[in-house]
Amino acid sequence: MITGANTGLGFQTAKLLAQHGATVILACRNAGKAAEAAARISASSDATVRTLQLDLASLASIRRAAEQLRADHPRLDLLINNAGGIRPQYAVTEDGFESTIATNHLGPFAFTGLVLDRLLTVPGSRVVTVGSIGHRRGTVDFDDLHFARGYRYQHAYAQSKLANLMFTYELHRRLASAGVPTVAVAAHPGNVRTGFGREMPLPVRAMTHPRLRMLTWWLMQSSQKGALATTRAAVDPDVRGGDYYGPPGRAQFTGYPDRVRSTAGSHDAAAQRRLWQESERLTGVTYPVAD
């Protein structure tokens, strides 16, 4: 199952897995766009492609989708938390969460917890969460997680991407302690030309435009190449729990994926546990693997 799989990195990852025989579930906010994406993938492979309506900014939608998945599938080999967003303007979800942290962290946290038991008995199963090099600029403000004291979209996005890694590492620790076969890993695509930044200011949109790829080849790469980091984290037999994959090098902007390092802050075990506890409190979701 891949969230946000109707376009961009999620679509390319789903297409690649389907072409190699995987039964793929496209979990998307817009059911119509999910159906269109499924038809496009089915046209290029013989694999089974299904869809699931899921809005990660809504706890009600998350619970409905998790219930549907559990009813339809007794086991799950891969859960890829790919969907993400960024809002230039401050917005609050129906649950009272700042939109970016809701979509990028709290939503995936809740959904993963609600379906995790479908992976726990499956040898080789994995939870792959897609992060970003933007986590390097992130800090988690536990006193103002939802930016009530002032909003800057860059800070909100960086905080959410740091949270993705902290969630992955804490989940890995819990899974390993429980002795189950499921592992948690993370990946980042580098800088990718997708529709992700369509709501961003004009300079950002211009820099990511395909017409400028001759000038920005060193800075941006295609969604097909960016999806390889997620795919490697999902299927490479040498992947270990807690690994992080993405373009290598100091900048990690472009390139074929390798095992890379995240910031020291992302490995702060006390902060990981605190974020986990706060995420449980906010979402009302607890996991079948204990601290």
Asked if 279 contacts 142 with a C-beta cutoff of 8 angstroms, the reply is: no
Q: Which active-site residues does the annotation give?
A: 157
**How far is C-alpha 215 from the chain's CA centre?**
29
Pick the closest to residue 114 from 106, 122, 104 (CA basis).
106
> Angle between the 8-19 and 31-42 helix axes, to the nearest 10 degrees?
40
Count of C-beta atoms within a 10 Å radius of residue 26:
26
Q: How far apart are CA 248 and CA 259, in angstroms?
A: 7
Judge contact between 230 and 82, C-beta under 8 A: yes
Whether the CA torsion 142, 154, 163, 196 is positive or negative: it is positive
Q: Report residue 104 CA to chain centroid gap.
A: 7
Q: How far is CA 160 from CA 126, 196, 235, in A?
A: 21, 15, 25
Distance (Å, rounded) from C-alpha 16 to C-alpha 229?
A: 12
